[in-house]
């Protein structure tokens, strides 16, 4: 069942309003934008795979220097991927994260109470 003309018009108005308010959200939802972070993650994945292939080749050929260089290439690709993940986590999480107290803080509180009583 298709949309009526009125429904299409209302939908187009909503999309235009959303584009004015938050263009990044709209591009994310529609999938039209390839961000710098996603291309960096793809580059990191490609570098990692090339490095691993070189490493396997060096192992088969018993070439130590090529193996060391291949390891460094793989490590570079892994660093690109990890830094991309940390950038995404910082952007999505924001600064409003509330850290829950863990078992260490409860132990510290108990220690402080014990010292106060003595």
Regarding predicted confidence, which is higher, 54 or 110? Answer: 54
- Over range 106-118, report the average pLDDT: 79
106 phi and psi angles, rounded to 5 deg:
-70, -35
Chain mean pLDDT for the chain: 80
Whole-prediction pTM: 0.49
pLDDT of 35 > 80? The answer is no
Burial degree of 27 (CB within 10 A; 0-12, 13-18, 19+) = middle
Tens digit of each residue's pLDDT (9 = 90 or more) over 61-98: 999 999 999 999 999 999 988 888 776 666 655 555 55
Pair of tokens at residue 118? 């003595």
What is the pLDDT, as a whole number, of residue 112? 82
pLDDT at residue 47 tops 70: yes
**What percentage of the chain has pLDDT greater than the value 70?**
73
* Residues 6 or more apart whose Cβ sits within 8 Å of residue 11: 3
Alpha-carbon gap, residue 4 to 60, rounded angstroms: 65
Report angle CA 25, 98, 93 to the nearest 5 degrees: 25
3-state percent breakdown (helix, strand, coil) of the chain, nearest 5: 80, 0, 20
């Amino acid at each position: 069942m298709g949309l009526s003309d009125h429904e299409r018009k209302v939908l187009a108005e909503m999309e235009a309003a959303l584009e004015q308010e938050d263009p990044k959200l709209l591009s994310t939802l529609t999938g039209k934008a390839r961000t710098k972070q996603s291309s960096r993650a793809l580059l990191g994945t490609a570098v990692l795979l090339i490095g691993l292939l070189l490493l396997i080749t060096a192992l088969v050929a018993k070439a130590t220097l090529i193996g060391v260089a291949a390891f460094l290439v793989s490590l570079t690709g892994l660093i690109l991927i990890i830094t991309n993940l940390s950038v995404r986590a910082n952007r999505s999480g924001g600064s409003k994260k509330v850290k829950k107290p863990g078992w260490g803080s409860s132990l510290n509180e108990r220690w402080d109470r014990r010292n106060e009583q003595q």
